[in-house]
Amino acid sequence: MNKLCLFVAAMCCFGAAHAQEDPKESCDGIVKLYNDGDVDGALEEARWCVEALEQIKQAKEGDLFAADIAGWKRQSIEQNKAMGVALTEARYTKGGQTITVSLMGGAGGGDMGFLGGLAQMGMMSAGNKIRVGKHTGVASSEGGTSTVMVSLDSGGTLSFASSDAEMNSVVEFAKAFPVAEIDESRS
């Protein structure tokens, strides 16, 4: 199952290029192109409109990854999208330890389709169930890495992983993280 997660994460790297267009530009042009009889052009503008709006939504989700959570300081944040899957990843450090937080879900919020659903089922099937706020999580340790996976009501998944922090530190961090706010922002 870890190979499937790595595959999805690797595919997100192919989506690193971002459209830098204001959605108003492409969204406003759709009706004009359609009225001019250019249905193909209108469809292309509609695709750009959706792309730009999804990027705005993903950027807002990234804003919820606070700079400081329970004494852990955010060092970096990256956002990518490919094949309809959006990935936001942030690294937090405290006392020489690192926890990596990954939010994976459909590009416009919501679920990740068949492949993402398969990955989510596999990730949530092993380990000890825990409560992270009002959400269900699974804490597991494999190959020296402590991981907490949290299934979001909006269809995405938040993961917290560390190869140098103890499991109890990862669980405490996950419980302090704004899981509910991120889930609400994706609805």
The residues near 14 (Cβ < 8 Å, ≥ 6 apart) are 82, 83
Please, are residues 165 and 97 in contact by the beta-carbon 8 Å criterion? yes
Looking at residue 6, its pLDDT comes to 37
Looking at residue 125, its pLDDT comes to 59
Structure tokens at 107: 């590009």
Please, are residues 147 and 170 in contact by the beta-carbon 8 Å criterion? yes
* Tens digit of pLDDT at every position of the chain (187 positions): 443 343 344 434 333 344 456 777 778 888 888 999 999 998 988 888 877 777 776 666 667 788 999 999 999 988 777 666 778 899 999 999 999 999 988 654 444 444 444 444 555 556 899 999 999 999 999 999 999 999 999 888 999 999 999 999 999 999 999 999 888 887 7
Give the separation between CA 2 and CA 136, rounded to whole angstroms: 20
User: Strand 85-94 to strand 145-151: parallel, antiparallel, or no bridges (unpaired)?
Assistant: unpaired
Which residue is listed with tokens 């999805």?
8
